[in-house]
Amino acid sequence: MAEKTISPVGNRFRTYFSKPANIITVVFLVILVLTVVLPLSTLLLGSFKINGNQEAVYVSTFDNPVEDGDFTFHHWVELLTSKEYHYALTAFWEPLYQSTLMALLACFVAVLFGGVVAWFITRSDLPFKKFLSTVFVFPYIMPSWSMAMFWENFFKNTSINAGKGMLEALTGICVPESMVYGLFPCAMALGLHYAPFAYILIGGILRNMDANLEEAATVLKASRFKILYRVTLPIVMPALVSTVLLVFSSSISSFTVPFFLNKSSIKGGNNFIAISIQMRSLLNNGMTKGQGYVLAIILMLFSIAILMANNKITGSRKSFTTVTGKSGQVSLVKLGKARKPLAVFLLILVAFFAIVPLLSFAAESLLEVPGDFSTLTLRYWFSAEPFEGSNKGDTVGILRSAFMWSALGRSLLLSLIVAGVAGTFGILIGYAVARKRGSRAASMVSNLAFLPYLIPSMSFGAVYLALSYTKGFTWLDGSFLILIMVGSIKFMPFASRTGTSAMLQLSGEIEEAAIVIGVPWIRRMTKILFPIQKASFISGYLLPFISCMRELSLFVLLVPSFKTLATSMLQEYSRTGLSQSSNAVNLLIIIVVLVIQFIVNKLTGASIDKGVGGN
């Protein structure tokens, strides 16, 4: 019998696929091309064609009539260069410039606030760490517009004809209009909302950083600044860049915050039209959809530029390994006399931005007349009778509404499944990227996994909506599965970022030791790698969970009204003028997330804040 020979190509193929990291890379490359590249190409194509009859009417001229589906450069030319009434300048260039400033300021606030608090909690002997760490993530659990709403309610004042806010009521102080409406408050609201990102990502690394590294530098007589610049900063740099990337991308495309905090008169000079407001306006109007796609693509290109900077830092051969097989130790900086004053200052600051908004939501849900405490009522929570005199039909207290409970149940189930899928995908991608660091395929998977974050939520939902109307896929229309699909893909970036950061921290020698003694891959993952970086990985599950619980735009086109989600109910209440009920739902969502965090903490011993150092 002739001996079987294996060709060199077959041999290479077998060798390649004998490594789990390679299999993961190839599998995810296929998945991500199908779920990310195809939707992206829809956006790109949309920017070069006539999108529907309404747009055809808008683009057509007497000499050049166009039809639905025709190829055109019109959208690009119009938005970027039209001089008619300074259109390109006022609809694109100026909003882009101002929104970039806003996003950069938001990044600065988030990194500074989140990073400083993370340092104090992980590297100093500050008291009340557990409390600070627990409540610091609250602003991220709230929808971003909640922070904007709180900001307005706190700072608005009668000197700018905006009604009396909390600050004026308590102190009589009236801040200038530029602090209440416009670019600055938008940046602050976004920065504070995303500060927990910086806290989680930077804190996770600081916590695991071996103090021997800094001590060695101290022994070598390096100055404090040099230690910070040459030791600490390079180690936290991947997390820092990831934070900037996430915050910048989220801030520049945030619609609700600029929409909410942009109420001042044009003459006042604080009115600014954010690029996201322009994008939403263009995308929502059937006549200018193509221009909306152009804007979405340009915003993505901005974020891709930061993504490339991120890759340059994490993709180089510099090592950021902080968890090795050797023993490590964390020595805490002693704050001395500043310990207590600093703790009190941080407690007040964190409580102000994390707890006071919650109290204000609770209060608003209990007041018949906003701001008037003589009109306290529990009916928006408990009334079983339809609200008296209300035009809302069968609206009852949210805790008595079967519709509300089923919506909350669906939100919870969806978020749990999405977190499970996105979190696991994130760990696997992190493993492949770390093990195949520097390879083109790994870098492609890493980048593709992040791209969904850059696609505007509503456009992403619209692409999947179109898919559900395509022959062969109509079974997806209105299904729960399509919500799981879009949620898992859209929120995967959180998990893949945390997964990659955590895997990059792990020294290869740990897994290598297990390989030498023949431990199979699945056991290496579950018994060695996962337990070591459990805190970070759990963050990779919790972040998609939280994001999914409070997401609205992504699902709004896909969720059937009779099988609605909690956030859809919140929007519906808000739209119909029932701000008490919408505040109550908002609070309920936050409470549910906190309860889940608590349960996860009890069951696994891990949580977002524990990952940083809250224990």
Partner 1 sequence: MQDLTFNADSLTSGIKKALAAFEKKYEWAAGRVAYNSKKGSEYQPKLIAAQKANAYIADFVMIQDASFLKNAMLDTNFLLSYDPSDADIKIADEDKNPLVGVTFNKVFIYDNTTVGTEQLKNVWQMTGVDGVSLKGLHNVSYQNPLGEDINMSFLIMLTSPSSCERLKAAYKSYFGKDYEEDPNYVNIGYKFVKEFIQNVGYWHSSDSSEIKGLKNYAADGRIIFAGLCKLKDYEYYKDTYKDTDDYYTKTVTAGGWNNQIEGFNGFVYNMWTLIPVTAKLPYTACLFIKYIHSAEGYKAGWGGILGYYSSNSNIPSVDGDPALAEWKKLCVVEDVQYIDQSYASVVKFINMALAGK
**Shortest reach from residue 479's CB to partner 1, in Å:** 14
- Toward partner 1, which CB reaches closer, 181 or 431? 181
Structure tokens at 177: 């209009």
**What is the smallest separation between the CB atom of 389 and partner 1, expressed in angstroms?**
5
Q: Which of 76, 7, 31 minimizes the C-alpha distance to 429? A: 31
CB 407 within 8 A of CB 474: no
Q: Are 418 and 548 in contact (CB under 8 A)?
A: yes
User: Could you tell me the smallest distance in angstroms from the CB atom of residue 257 to partner 1?
Assistant: 11
CB of 374 to partner 1, least distance (A): 12
User: Please, what is the minimum distance in Å from the beta carbon of residue 161 to partner 1?
Assistant: 5
Looking at this protein, which amino acid is placed at residue 397? G
Q: How far apart are CA 476 and CA 172, in angstroms?
A: 56
Quick check: 467 and 473 in contact, CB under 8 A? yes
Q: What is the 3 state secondary structure string of 86-107?
A: HHHHHHHHHHHHHHHHHHHHHH
Nearer of residues 179 and 434 to partner 1, judged by Cβ = 179
Q: How far is CA 57 from the centre of its chain?
A: 37
Closer to partner 1 by CB, 19 or 563: give it. Answer: 563
Nearer to partner 1, 28 or 272 (CB): 272
- Evaluate the CA torsion angle 23, 27, 29, 32 in order and state its sign: negative
Cβ proximity of 101 and 275 under 8 Å: no
Closer CB to partner 1, 553 or 604, in the complex = 553
CB 196 within 8 A of CB 137: yes
| Closer residue to partner 1 in complex, CB, 70/94 | 94
What is the C-alpha to C-alpha distance for residues 391 and 395, in angstroms, rounded to an integer?
A: 9
Q: How far apart are CA 27 and CA 222, in angstroms?
A: 47
Nearer to partner 1, 93 or 131 (CB): 93
Residue 577 Cβ vs partner 1, minimum distance, rounded to whole Å: 3
Q: Specify the residue, 576 or 615, whose C-beta has the smaller distance to partner 1.
A: 576
Place of tokens 């224990």: 615
Rounded distance, CA 614 to CA 118, Å?
Answer: 10
What Rg, from alpha-carbon coordinates, does the chain have? 26
Cα 66 from chain centroid (whole Å): 39
Question: Least separation, in Å, of the C-beta of 144 and partner 1?
Answer: 14
**Which CB atom, from 291 or from 597, has the smaller least distance to partner 1?**
291
Largest CA distance in the chain: 98
Smallest gap, in angstroms, from Cβ of residue 312 to partner 1?
Answer: 36
For the chain, give the number of residues: 615
Min dist. Cβ of residue 61 to partner 1 (A): 9
Residues 6 or more apart whose CB falls under 8 angstroms from that of 297 comprise 43, 44, 47
Min CB(382)–partner 1 separation in Å: 17
Q: Which is nearer to partner 1, 442 or 482 (CB)?
A: 482
